[in-house]
Amino acid sequence: MTTVYADNIRSVTALLSDAATMIDKGTIMYCGTTGGSANAHTASSNPTFTGLATGMSVRVVAGFTNTSTTSLNINSTGTVTVKRTNGDAVYGGDIVAGSVYDFFYNGTYWLLINPTYSINTYTPTLTTQAGTYTSTTITYARYVSVGPKLVDMEVFFFGTQGAATSAYLNFTLPYTSAAIEQYGPLVVLNNAVYEIGNYYVVGSSTNCRCYRNAQTAWGTTANNYVIAKFSYQIA
């Protein structure tokens, strides 16, 4: 016959009470390193819980780097979509393997409190307003998602513009822009002459236009360089 001591019962009751208090008061519960996959993270807390409540917070070490929209499932309570704190979907690279992240449950989503703003590279498509853009070389094209709806861009490319009627060179952006016109200065090199030109991000588009000073046509006899560093709002 097994003897059950009152002290043991009180100890178990105290532990359960402590766990409930941690959940109710929004204490961040550590859940170790996530399992699952890059875009479907899973984890377990200690002490455990069997249901989600609005206001809960958890902390994990990411076991994977996400590549797109992501979910989190704690203690097998169900797969819940992860969002940024403004309600936007997370970007690829917001969660990086080996880094520590906090999540807040708002009753519908797990909100990622501290996304990683990593430098991402991509390969833009280069075109012109008219004619061709040949012998193109992309030295670099990179971006950082620095906050909700804002991306920092850096590009450096060159090529030969094949039609004298082209008023601008064009390159594609990593994300669709907000439904507003966005523009500012950039450095261009036209027929070996440096100029301060302008970039123009078309509203609700994935394209950025690069203009020479006074929007004059690009030359066709030498490489045309574009060096741009700017921020733009995304949709």
**Domain CATH code at residue 173:** 2.60.90
Residue 172 domain flag: yes
Instruction: Please determine, for residue 21, whether its predicted confidence score (pLDDT) is greater than 90.
Output: no
Mean pLDDT calculated for residue range 22-50: 87
Are 149 and 221 in a shared domain?
yes
- Are residues 135 and 77 both part of a single domain? no
Res 140 pLDDT > 80:
yes
Token reading at 58: 């958890």
Same-domain pairing of 155 and 56: no
Query: What's the whole-model pTM score?
Result: 0.66
* Judgement on whether residues 158 and 206 belong to the same structural domain of the protein: yes
- Top pLDDT among 141 and 148 is at 141
Count of structural domains within the chain: 2
Would you say residue 7 has pLDDT above 70?
A: no
Q: What is the pLDDT of residues 84-137, one digit of tens each?
A: 888 888 888 889 999 999 999 999 999 999 998 878 889 999 988 887 788 889
Which residue type sits at 154? E
Q: Where does a domain end: 67, 83, 112?
A: 112
Do 123 and 225 lie in one domain? The reply is yes
- Whether residues 100 and 150 share a domain: the answer is no
Provide the Cα torsion 127, 132, 138, 141; round to 10°: 0
23 assigned to some structural domain:
yes
> Which residue range(s) make up the domain with 26?
6-112
Same domain membership, residue 105 and residue 137: no
User: What is the bridge-based pairing of β-strands 150-161 and 223-233?
Assistant: antiparallel
Residue 195 has pLDDT above 80, yes or no: yes
- Classify residue 146: in a domain, yes or no: yes
**What pLDDT is attached to residue 147?**
65
Instruction: Verify that 156 and 206 share a domain, yes or no.
Output: yes
- For residue 33, name the pLDDT band (cuts at 50, 70, 90): very high
* DSSP string across 151-177: EEEEEEEEEEE--TT--EEEEE-SSPB
Given pLDDT bands bounded at 50, 70 and 90, which one contains residue 5? low
Query: Is there a domain that residue 97 lies in?
Result: yes
Cα–Cα distance list, 201 to 88, 153, 183, 197, 225 (Å) = 21, 12, 6, 14, 18
